Chains A and B, each alone.
Chain A
Amino acid sequence: DTAVSQTPKYLVTQMGNDKSIKCEQNLGHDTMYWYKQDSKKFLKIMFSYNNKELIINETVPNRFSPKSPDKAHLNLHINSLELGDSAVYFCASSQETVWPGYHEKLFFGSGTQLSVL
Protein backbone atom coordinates (compact mmCIF):
# COMPACT_ATOMS: atom_id res chain seq x y z
CA ASP A 1 0.00 0.00 0.00
CA THR A 2 1.23 3.48 -0.85
CA ALA A 3 2.18 5.41 2.27
CA VAL A 4 1.26 8.89 1.04
CA SER A 5 -1.18 8.97 -1.83
CA GLN A 6 -2.48 12.01 -3.64
CA THR A 7 -5.09 12.33 -6.35
CA PRO A 8 -5.37 13.14 -9.11
CA LYS A 9 -1.94 12.48 -10.60
CA TYR A 10 -2.58 14.85 -13.48
CA LEU A 11 -4.98 17.79 -13.59
CA VAL A 12 -5.54 19.97 -16.63
CA THR A 13 -7.98 22.83 -16.28
CA GLN A 14 -8.83 26.29 -17.54
CA MET A 15 -8.07 29.62 -15.91
CA GLY A 16 -10.68 30.73 -13.44
CA ASN A 17 -11.79 27.24 -12.44
CA ASP A 18 -11.80 25.88 -8.89
CA LYS A 19 -10.09 22.54 -8.26
CA SER A 20 -9.05 20.30 -5.37
CA ILE A 21 -6.17 17.92 -4.82
CA LYS A 22 -6.56 15.23 -2.19
CA CYS A 23 -3.89 13.67 -0.01
CA GLU A 24 -4.06 10.75 2.38
CA GLN A 25 -1.37 9.07 4.48
CA ASN A 26 -1.64 5.68 6.17
CA LEU A 27 1.53 6.02 8.25
CA GLY A 28 -0.15 7.32 11.38
CA HIS A 29 1.84 10.55 11.13
CA ASP A 30 0.71 13.66 12.96
CA THR A 31 1.93 16.27 10.48
CA MET A 32 1.14 16.77 6.81
CA TYR A 33 2.43 19.28 4.28
CA TRP A 34 1.80 20.73 0.87
CA TYR A 35 4.77 21.71 -1.30
CA LYS A 36 4.81 23.40 -4.70
CA GLN A 37 7.52 22.46 -7.19
CA ASP A 38 7.92 25.01 -9.95
CA SER A 39 9.37 24.58 -13.44
CA LYS A 40 12.89 25.02 -12.10
CA LYS A 41 12.40 22.06 -9.70
CA PHE A 42 12.34 24.39 -6.72
CA LEU A 43 10.28 22.86 -3.92
CA LYS A 44 8.68 25.40 -1.62
CA ILE A 45 6.55 24.68 1.39
CA MET A 46 3.03 26.08 1.30
CA PHE A 47 1.20 24.71 4.35
CA SER A 48 1.64 22.32 7.21
CA TYR A 49 -0.98 20.83 9.52
CA ASN A 50 -0.33 19.04 12.77
CA ASN A 51 -3.23 16.92 13.97
CA LYS A 52 -5.72 18.99 11.94
CA GLU A 53 -4.30 22.32 13.17
CA LEU A 54 -2.64 24.74 10.75
CA ILE A 55 0.92 25.37 11.91
CA ILE A 56 2.75 26.65 8.83
CA ASN A 57 1.21 29.03 6.36
CA GLU A 58 3.74 30.52 4.00
CA THR A 59 3.12 33.45 1.73
CA VAL A 60 0.53 31.82 -0.48
CA PRO A 61 -2.40 33.55 -2.21
CA ASN A 62 -5.72 33.33 -0.42
CA ARG A 63 -7.02 31.37 -3.39
CA PHE A 64 -5.23 28.37 -1.89
CA SER A 65 -7.06 26.84 1.05
CA PRO A 66 -5.97 23.65 2.79
CA LYS A 67 -8.49 21.51 4.60
CA SER A 68 -7.74 18.72 7.04
CA PRO A 69 -10.83 16.69 8.00
CA ASP A 70 -8.65 14.36 10.10
CA LYS A 71 -4.94 13.91 10.65
CA ALA A 72 -4.68 11.34 7.86
CA HIS A 73 -5.98 13.72 5.20
CA LEU A 74 -4.89 17.12 3.95
CA ASN A 75 -6.65 18.41 0.87
CA LEU A 76 -5.72 21.48 -1.14
CA HIS A 77 -8.44 23.57 -2.72
CA ILE A 78 -7.54 26.23 -5.26
CA ASN A 79 -10.01 28.91 -6.35
CA SER A 80 -9.87 30.98 -9.53
CA LEU A 81 -6.89 29.15 -10.99
CA GLU A 82 -4.25 31.23 -12.75
CA LEU A 83 -1.59 30.32 -15.30
CA GLY A 84 1.12 30.74 -12.68
CA ASP A 85 -0.44 28.00 -10.58
CA SER A 86 0.81 25.42 -13.08
CA ALA A 87 3.28 23.24 -11.19
CA VAL A 88 3.70 19.89 -9.52
CA TYR A 89 2.20 19.83 -6.04
CA PHE A 90 3.62 17.38 -3.53
CA CYS A 91 1.94 16.23 -0.37
CA ALA A 92 4.14 14.93 2.44
CA SER A 93 3.86 13.69 6.01
CA SER A 94 6.08 13.19 9.02
CA GLN A 95 5.67 11.84 12.52
CA GLU A 96 6.46 15.24 14.02
CA THR A 97 6.84 18.70 12.58
CA VAL A 98 10.25 18.82 10.95
CA TRP A 99 10.32 22.06 8.96
CA PRO A 100 12.68 23.72 8.32
CA GLY A 101 15.80 21.83 7.47
CA TYR A 102 14.97 18.20 8.21
CA HIS A 103 13.50 17.11 4.94
CA GLU A 104 14.95 13.64 5.26
CA LYS A 105 12.17 12.79 7.72
CA LEU A 106 9.45 13.57 5.23
CA PHE A 107 7.51 10.96 3.29
CA PHE A 108 6.35 12.37 -0.03
CA GLY A 109 3.44 11.53 -2.27
CA SER A 110 4.03 10.98 -5.97
CA GLY A 111 2.95 14.49 -6.94
CA THR A 112 0.05 16.07 -8.82
CA GLN A 113 0.92 17.82 -12.04
CA LEU A 114 -1.42 20.77 -12.45
CA SER A 115 -1.62 22.48 -15.82
CA VAL A 116 -3.69 25.64 -16.12
CA LEU A 117 -4.56 26.61 -19.67
Chain B
Amino acid sequence: GDSVTQMEGPVTLSEEAFLTINCTYTATGYPSLFWYVQYPGEGLQLLLKATKADDKGSNKGFEATYRKETTSFHLEKGSVQVSDSAVYFCALCEDNDMRFGAGTRLTVKP
Protein backbone atom coordinates (compact mmCIF):
# COMPACT_ATOMS: atom_id res chain seq x y z
CA GLY B 1 0.00 0.00 0.00
CA ASP B 2 0.87 3.66 -0.12
CA SER B 3 3.33 4.98 2.41
CA VAL B 4 5.37 8.05 3.24
CA THR B 5 8.80 7.99 4.84
CA GLN B 6 10.41 11.15 6.11
CA MET B 7 13.67 11.74 7.92
CA GLU B 8 13.49 11.37 11.62
CA GLY B 9 14.15 14.35 13.80
CA PRO B 10 14.58 16.30 15.74
CA VAL B 11 16.48 18.72 13.54
CA THR B 12 18.18 21.68 15.19
CA LEU B 13 19.60 24.50 13.09
CA SER B 14 20.92 27.98 13.62
CA GLU B 15 19.07 30.92 12.13
CA GLU B 16 19.85 31.47 8.42
CA ALA B 17 21.03 27.88 7.96
CA PHE B 18 19.92 25.79 4.97
CA LEU B 19 17.17 23.28 5.64
CA THR B 20 16.43 19.96 3.96
CA ILE B 21 13.87 17.49 5.25
CA ASN B 22 13.80 14.33 3.16
CA CYS B 23 10.58 12.64 2.15
CA THR B 24 10.11 9.58 -0.03
CA TYR B 25 6.91 7.80 -0.90
CA THR B 26 5.51 4.63 -2.36
CA ALA B 27 2.25 4.66 -4.27
CA THR B 28 0.41 2.54 -6.79
CA GLY B 29 -0.67 5.44 -8.97
CA TYR B 30 -0.01 9.14 -9.25
CA PRO B 31 -0.64 10.75 -5.90
CA SER B 32 -0.68 14.40 -4.97
CA LEU B 33 2.05 15.32 -2.52
CA PHE B 34 1.91 17.80 0.34
CA TRP B 35 3.92 19.31 3.14
CA TYR B 36 1.98 20.29 6.24
CA VAL B 37 3.34 22.29 9.17
CA GLN B 38 2.18 22.20 12.77
CA TYR B 39 3.25 25.12 14.93
CA PRO B 40 3.22 24.66 18.71
CA GLY B 41 -0.33 24.37 20.02
CA GLU B 42 -1.91 24.66 16.59
CA GLY B 43 -3.41 22.34 14.00
CA LEU B 44 -1.94 21.10 10.78
CA GLN B 45 -1.64 23.75 8.10
CA LEU B 46 -0.96 23.15 4.45
CA LEU B 47 2.48 24.54 3.60
CA LEU B 48 2.78 23.59 -0.06
CA LYS B 49 1.69 20.97 -2.56
CA ALA B 50 2.45 19.42 -5.94
CA THR B 51 -0.01 17.44 -7.98
CA LYS B 52 2.12 15.93 -10.75
CA ALA B 53 5.67 14.96 -11.60
CA ASP B 54 8.18 17.82 -11.82
CA ASP B 55 5.79 20.29 -10.20
CA LYS B 56 7.43 22.53 -7.64
CA GLY B 57 5.41 23.67 -4.65
CA SER B 58 6.56 26.79 -2.83
CA ASN B 59 5.38 28.95 0.04
CA LYS B 60 7.00 31.18 2.67
CA GLY B 61 10.45 30.47 1.25
CA PHE B 62 9.98 26.71 1.40
CA GLU B 63 10.16 24.60 -1.76
CA ALA B 64 9.65 20.96 -2.71
CA THR B 65 9.78 19.31 -6.13
CA TYR B 66 7.76 16.23 -7.06
CA ARG B 67 10.38 13.76 -8.33
CA LYS B 68 8.75 10.68 -9.78
CA GLU B 69 12.03 9.04 -10.77
CA THR B 70 13.25 9.05 -7.19
CA THR B 71 9.76 9.02 -5.59
CA SER B 72 10.77 11.96 -3.45
CA PHE B 73 9.39 15.30 -2.30
CA HIS B 74 12.14 16.83 -0.18
CA LEU B 75 11.41 20.08 1.64
CA GLU B 76 14.03 22.84 1.41
CA LYS B 77 14.51 26.38 2.63
CA GLY B 78 17.55 28.49 1.98
CA SER B 79 17.59 30.45 5.22
CA VAL B 80 15.51 29.36 8.18
CA GLN B 81 14.17 31.66 10.87
CA VAL B 82 13.32 31.06 14.52
CA SER B 83 9.64 31.33 13.55
CA ASP B 84 10.03 28.24 11.32
CA SER B 85 10.34 26.06 14.42
CA ALA B 86 7.53 23.52 14.10
CA VAL B 87 6.78 19.92 13.16
CA TYR B 88 6.71 19.25 9.42
CA PHE B 89 4.67 16.43 7.90
CA CYS B 90 5.05 15.03 4.41
CA ALA B 91 1.82 13.57 3.05
CA LEU B 92 0.36 12.00 -0.04
CA CYS B 93 -3.19 11.79 -1.25
CA GLU B 94 -4.36 9.09 -3.61
CA ASP B 95 -7.99 8.38 -4.35
CA ASN B 96 -9.95 9.47 -1.29
CA ASP B 97 -7.45 9.06 1.50
CA MET B 98 -4.38 10.72 2.84
CA ARG B 99 -1.27 9.17 4.32
CA PHE B 100 1.12 11.18 6.48
CA GLY B 101 4.74 10.73 7.39
CA ALA B 102 5.70 10.53 11.05
CA GLY B 103 6.65 14.20 11.23
CA THR B 104 10.02 15.94 11.69
CA ARG B 105 10.45 18.43 14.49
CA LEU B 106 12.55 21.45 13.51
CA THR B 107 14.03 23.80 16.09
CA VAL B 108 15.76 26.94 14.88
CA LYS B 109 18.01 28.72 17.38
CA PRO B 110 18.89 32.39 17.18
Interface residues of A (CB under 8 A from B): 2-5, 37, 40-45, 90, 92, 99-101, 103-104, 106-111
Contact = CB atoms under 8 A, between A and B. Distances in A.
B108 to A, nearest CB: 20
Interface string B62-95: 0000000000000000000000000000010101
A59 B25 CA distance: 27
Contact of A43 (B46, B49, B99): B99
Contacts of A99: 96
A43 B52 CA distance: 21
Contact of B95 (A37, A100, A111): A100
Nearest to B46: A104
Contacts of A37: 100
Contacts, number: 57
Contacts of A104: 34, 46, 49
Q: Which of A3, A42, A92, A107 has the most CB of B within 10 A?
A: A42
Q: Which of A40, A92, A103, A110 has the most CB of B within 10 A?
A: A103
B102 A41 contact: yes
Given A41-B4, A41-B99, A90-B44, 4 more contacts: A43-B98, A90-B43, A100-B96, A103-B34
Interface in B39-67: 41-46, 49
Contacts of B3: 40
Nearest to A107: B43
Nearest to B38: A110
Contacts of B91: 43
Q: Which of B43, B91, B93 has the most CB of A within 10 A?
A: B43
B93 A103 contact: yes
21 contacts: A2-B43, A3-B42, A3-B43, A40-B99, A42-B97, A42-B98, A43-B98, A43-B100, A45-B96, A45-B97, A92-B43, A99-B96, A100-B96, A104-B49, A106-B46, A107-B43, A108-B43, A108-B44, A110-B41, A110-B42, A111-B43
Nearest to A102: B93
Contacts of A108: 36, 43-45
Interface string B1-45: 001100000000000000000000000000000101010011111
